[in-house]
Each structure stands twice: as structure tokens, then as C-alpha cells.
Amino acid sequence: MMKKNRLILTIIFMVSFLFPVGEAGAVFLLIAPGAAAQGTGEANVARVDDAYASYYNPASLAFQSKTSIVGMHVNWLKSLVPDLYYEFIGFSSPGYGGTLGGHLIFLSLGEQLATDADGNELGNFKSYMWALDASYGTKLTENSGIGIGFKLFHQKLADSVTENESGEGKPYSTDFAFDLAYLLKQDKFSFGFNIANIGPPISFIDEDQADPAPTNMRLGFFGNLYEDEFIKFNMLMDMQKLLVASYPSMDWDGDRMIGDGINGNSNTNGDGQNEAAYFDPWYKAWATAWLDDWYYGGDLDIDGNRYIGGYTYEEDINPIEGPQPEDLVWDGEGEYGCEECTDTDGDGYFDMNDTGTVVKELGSGDDRTFSKEFKEVIFNTGFEFWYTESFVLRFGYIYDKEGDITNPTFGAGVRFDGYGFDFGYTAGEQGHPRSNTLFFSLSAEI
């Protein structure tokens, strides 16, 4: 598979999952399973009472007294990729002082066309990803429990790499991660907490370009708002945030250059500080993920030219071809960086009067505020209306400002003699990738 094909797959993921995941790898682990949870806006971390516990909150396994098996199928984002589908199978079984659980996730990316470096077709190949999880939950007290989970996951993007791709790696990876969870249950209310996918960086072709694991924190609340002999009304709320701290190339010493300059190869400045893009390891990102978008504010090398600000070119440089790195000179102001700009007014300076993508690079900490951190928080809200223990209607809402998801959800379910069927539906604006998605789940208690 050549770079173009791998880029297409990357774009599919970044656009398709619509989660602030441009900073992380293995984002398929963030697809929320279960038609019931989909009906309540994906809120589920404080309520899980079946085998989906190994995904949402392993601590809730501690309160399960029956063996449970669940399964879900969905044609994920079929409006974008018709042959992309997601499967989930999970189980839970009491024993060993608590309850064991686990699940298998399989995501098919469909069939891709392989080409060589010259664009010649080499045939089709299939891309897919899977994750295998084992979890355990046990009680701390009569009303509280803790849980852990361990998962092994594999991503296969292609059959092979071409001669023009750097690195000695392969277009597939096998990695591991673990989860930590807690659940507090009261008479009619519950509070849940889960940090999932804690693990080492994920790499494919080049280990120097590894991505952090998609460590995700969920805080959840469940409340039984009303209940009588026949009717029960529940409310669920989750808040989740990706605990990944990543930083763009940034000028730390104030010399307006990244590392040793525009033509230099070192990313270290004169003070020994790394000014290139990087991300924090998982054990540090738990805290710094709440700081990376505001506390470390200042000058940013957005266009990647290793210079903070705008640039001009010498008079003998062809305006159509534009400047080369060795031709760049200080512009005296440097308030803008520019990608693919054209000096349309011929003044020798790329500014807002010219065409192209012009963005501000020279700034200060005032340009980055804590409100940006809250834009990355996802809110899931849902309600359930039960009639007896056999019929349920659900509705909810997913609010993800960073991922551009503001979708209402609906669902329904039936239970009979230990068996259940659930249906979920994600609505939304016409053309939104997550809109008009149907989810189907089956469950059984043994």
C-alpha cells in the first residue's frame, strides 16, 4: 500500500469517528457499543448492568449475579463507507470473589485498492481492526466496587508497504492497554468512573511517528427519578474527555524559530529545550491533558515552516513559484503564517490581502484559554421510560463540540424471560456522518 492509500484510511478515521482523536491512535476503541447505550446518548458508565460492563465500567461487574451474553451489529457510517461494519460480543460471569467479564470488538474497514509507487493497480486488500478484552470487578463495600480490564488490540491497514515508505515497520500493529474503574451504588442513584485504554504509544511504519493510545476518561451519573408498580423513569449523564496531551511545534525561547532555525535540522533551541511537536506519556497526560491547550500558550508554528510569523521573499524570487526555505527573510512584523499562499497584490508580502490560508502564529498565552479544554469534553445525556420490566423507550443527546456532534438519539427495547432485544437510532442533520445510524443488540441471561 502506498502512502496515498494510508492517508485515505487516516482521513476516514479522523472524519468518521468525529471525536477529538486527531491526537491519538486506535480510535476504533472509542466507538460506544450497545443499542441501549446508543438510545441514551451513549451515557452508560454509571448504569451498566449487563455484559457491556467490560467496555463501559468493569467495576459494575461486581454487582452482577447472573451470567450475561450480549452482541451488537452496526453498519458504521454507511453514508461514507458502505462496507464498514462494527461487531461487538461480550460476556460476564460471577465467580472468584467477584465477576469476570470480557468482550471482542471487530471493525471491518472494507476493501481497499493497492497501487505501487507509479500508480499501477496491484489488486484489492482488506483492512480491519480487532480488540480482545478481559475484565474483573469486585466489591469494596456493599455499595461500592472497583474493576480492572486488560485488552489486546490489532490494526491491519494493508498487506505490505511500498519501497517509497520510510521505516522498517509494517502497515499493521498489535498493542495492549488496560482500564481502571470505580462504581458507587446507592438506593436510587449511582456514580461511575472509568479510565480506559491506558497504554504505550501506537506505531505502524515509523516508530518516531507513533501516536498515543486513546486514553479516555468517563464520569457518569445514574438516577431513578420515579418508580411505581408499573412505571420507572431513569436519567443518565456521562462526561468524557480524551486524556491525551499533545503539543504543536512551539517557540519557547522567543527567537521566532523552531529549534535551530528554518534550514536547521535540530529541534532543540539554544537553551536545550525541544521545540518540535510532541506528546506526553500516559502517566503524565492524566494531568497535563487539562493544561495542554491553554497553559502552554504562545507562539505556534502552524504552517510548519519552522518560523513563527509571516514571511517575505527577495525581489528576484518568482511570485508564482513562491519562496523556497533558503529565500525566506524576516518581515519585521511576523503576525501571520501562511500555507499555500499567493502574493496576489504583488507587494512582496503574504498578508490578509492575498489569497491562501492565512493564520495567526505570533501570539501569547492570552490567545489560548481554559475554555478550549471544555470544548474537548463530550457530554452524553439520556432518559429511559420503562413499563413493567419488559418494555422500555429511550431518548438522549450527544454533545461534542470539538468533534462537531450534536445529535439526538432514540431507542427501544423488550425483555422476556431473560432474553432481550434493543434498538438504537442516531438522528441529526442531513448529511452528517453519524445521522441515520441504526444499532441492533441482543442479550441473554443464563
Q: What is this structure's pTM?
A: 0.80
What mean pLDDT do residues 263-279 have? 78
| Model confidence pLDDT, tens digit, residues 13-49 | 444 444 444 567 888 999 999 999 999 999 999 988 8
Q: Which of 156-170, 274-288, 421-435 has the lowest mean pLDDT?
A: 156-170
| Model confidence pLDDT, tens digit, residues 364-416 | 666 667 777 778 899 999 999 999 999 999 999 999 988 788 899 999 999 99
Phi and psi for 65 in degrees, rounded to 5? -115, 0
The DSSP bridge pattern shows strands 312-313 and 328-329 to be: antiparallel
DSSP 327: G
Report d(CA 74, CA 80) in Å as an integer.
14
Report d(CA 95, CA 77) in Å as an integer.
38
- Give the model's pLDDT for residue 173: 86
Closest Cα to residue 286, out of 193, 163, 203, 206? 193
| Model confidence pLDDT, tens digit, residues 214-246 | 999 999 999 999 999 899 999 999 999 999 888
What mean pLDDT do residues 102-128 have? 79
pLDDT(105) > 60: yes
| Model confidence pLDDT, tens digit, residues 174-187 | 999 999 999 999 98
Q: Can you give the length of the chain in residues?
A: 446
Report d(CA 276, CA 108) in Å as an integer.
35
Report d(CA 313, CA 302) in Å as an integer.
19
| Model confidence pLDDT, tens digit, residues 185-213 | 998 999 999 999 999 988 776 666 778 89
Amino acid, single-letter form, for residue 164: N
Query: What is residue 312's three-state secondary structure?
Result: strand
DSSP 213: -
